[in-house]
Amino acid sequence: MAPNTSNSSGYNTPDSSLESVLPIHPTAARRPHAIVVQSENTSYTDDYITAQYQNRGADVTVSNGQYIINPTVQNVQFRTKRAPAKTGLMMIGIGGNNGTTLCSTILANRHNIIWHTKNGVQQPNYIGSLLRASTVRIGTEPGTGKEVHVPVSDVLPMVHPNDLVLGGWDISGMRMDKAMFRAKVLDYDLQRQVAPHMELLGSPLPSIYYPDFIAANQEARADNLIPGTDKQAHLEHIRADIRRFKQDNELDRAVIFWTANTERYSDIIPGVNDTADNLLAAIKSSHSEVSPSTLFAVAAILEGEPFVNGAPQNTFVPGVIDLAERHKSFIGGDDLKSGQTKLKSVFAEFLVNAGIKPLSIASYNHLGNNDGHNLSAERQFKSKEISKSSVVDDMVNANRLLFKAPEIGEKGVPVGKGEHPDHIVVIKYVPAVGDSKRAIDEYYSEIFCGGRSTINIFNECEDSLLATPLILDLTILTELLTRVQYRNDTNAEFSPLYSVLSLLSYMLKAPLVKPGTEVVNSLNRQRNALEAFLKACIGLENNNDLLLETRIW
Question: What are residue 261's phi and psi, to 5 degrees?
Answer: -60, 155
Beta pairing class for 48-63 and 42-44: antiparallel
Between the two ends of the chain, the Cα-to-Cα distance in Å is 61
Verify that 171 and 197 share a domain, yes or no: yes
| Same domain (yes/no): 237, 322 | yes
Structure confidence at residue 462 (pLDDT): 86
What pLDDT does residue 543 have?
75
Task: Evaluate whether residue 482 is within a structural domain.
Answer: yes
pLDDT, average across residues 247-273: 95
One domain for residues 266 and 360? no
Residues acting as catalytic residues: 335, 384, 437, 509
CB-based contact 41:33 (threshold 8 Å): no
Give 406 or 116, the one with higher predicted confidence.
116
Compute CA distances 281 → 274, 276, 286, 290, 319, whole Å: 11, 9, 9, 11, 11
How confident is residue 396, by pLDDT bands cut at 50, 70 and 90?
A: confident
Contacts of 93 (CB under 8 A, 6+ apart): 99, 168, 169, 170, 258, 259, 260, 261
Per-residue model confidence (pLDDT) at position 162: 97
Question: What single string gives the DSSP state of each residue in 458-495?
Answer: EEEEEHHHHHHHHHHHHHHHHHHHTTEEEEESS-SS-E
pLDDT single digits (tens) 293-312 = 999 999 999 999 999 999 99
Contact 88, 245 (CB under 8 A): yes
Average pLDDT for residues 355-359, to the nearest whole number? Answer: 96
- What's the CA gap between 223 and 175, in Å, rounded? 12
Residues 365 and 493 in one domain: no
Asked if the structure places residue 43 within a domain, the reply is no
Residue 30 pLDDT exceeds 70: no
DSSP states along 436-466: EEEEEEEEEEE-GGG-EEEEEEEEEEEHHHH
- Please write the tens of the pLDDT for every residue from 495-516: 999 999 999 999 999 899 999 8
Mean pLDDT score, 176-199: 96
Instruction: State mean pLDDT over 280-285.
Output: 98
The region of weakest confidence among 116-130, 152-166, 337-351 is 337-351
373 has a pLDDT exceeding 80 = no
Alpha helices by DSSP H, 328-445? 340-353, 370-375, 378-389, 393-397
348-354 long-range contacts, CB within 8 A, separation 24+ = 348/391, 348/392, 348/395, 348/421, 348/443, 349/395, 349/522, 349/523, 349/524, 351/443, 351/445, 352/395, 352/396, 352/398, 352/399, 352/402, 353/395, 353/399
What is the C-alpha to C-alpha distance for residues 512 and 297, in angstroms, rounded to an integer? 14
Range 2-12 average pLDDT: 38
Q: What is the CATH number of the domain that holds 204?
A: 3.40.50.720
Burial class of residue 408, CB neighbours in 10 A (0-12, 13-18, 19+): exposed
Domain end: 442, 463, 484, which one? 463
User: What confidence tens digit (pLDDT) does each residue in 221-241 have?
Assistant: 999 999 999 999 999 999 999
Whether 438 maps to a domain, the answer reads: yes
Main-chain phi, psi angles of 99, to 5 degrees: -65, -45
Q: Are 436 and 460 in contact (CB under 8 A)?
A: yes
pLDDT band at 262 (very low <50, low <70, confident <90, very high): confident
Whether residues 346 and 454 fall in one domain: yes
Its domain, for residue 523, covers 5-24+84-336+466-536
Say which range, 20-24, 186-190, 277-281, 355-359, has the weakest mean pLDDT. 20-24
Answer whether residue 458 is part of any domain.
Answer: yes
* 66 falls within a domain: no
Q: 494 pLDDT exceeds 70? A: yes
Rounded-to-integer distance, Cα 393 and Cα 430, Å: 30
Domain count of the fold of the chain: 2
User: What is the distance between the alpha carbons of residues 358 and 454, in angstroms, rounded to a whole number?
Assistant: 9
Q: Flag whether 285 is in a domain.
A: yes
Stretch 515-527: mean pLDDT: 91
- pLDDT per residue over 95-146, tens digit each? 999 999 999 999 999 999 999 999 999 999 999 999 999 999 998 888 888 8
Instruction: Give me the percent of the chain exceeding a pLDDT of 70.
Output: 91
Confidence (pTM): 0.89
Average pLDDT over residues 516-540: 93
Is a pLDDT exceeding 50 seen at residue 11?
no
289 in the same domain as 407? no
Query: Residues 288, 141: one domain?
Result: yes
List Cα–Cα distances, 57 to 3, 9, 54, 72, 546, in angstroms: 54, 50, 10, 5, 18
427 pLDDT band, cuts 50/70/90, is confident
Q: How far apart are CA 72 and CA 191, in angstroms?
A: 56
Q: Indicate if 197 and 316 belong to the same structural domain.
A: yes
Long-range contacts of 223-230 (CB under 8 A, 24+ apart): 223/171, 223/172, 223/173, 224/170, 224/171, 224/172, 224/173, 225/171, 229/286, 230/286
Same domain, 446 and 489: no
* Residue 451 sits in the same domain as residue 480: no
Taking CB atoms within 8 Å and a gap of at least 24, the contacts of 18-21 are 18/110, 18/162
**Model confidence at 381, in pLDDT bands (50, 70, 90)?**
low
Last residue of a domain, one of 463, 486, 507: 463
Residue 48 lies in a domain: no
Specify the pLDDT at position 377: 65
Residue 520 lies in a domain: yes
Q: Which is it for the CA torsion 302, 76, 129, 525, positive or negative?
A: positive
Residues 346 and 402 in one domain: yes
Percent of the residues in the chain that have a pLDDT greater than 90, as a whole number: 68
Higher pLDDT, 9 or 328: 328
Residue 18 has pLDDT above 60, yes or no: no
The C-alpha atoms of residue 342 and residue 443 are separated, in whole angstroms, by 15
Choose one of 463, 491, 515: the last residue of a domain: 463
pLDDT value of position 33:
65
Task: Indicate whether 500 and 530 sit together in one domain.
Answer: yes
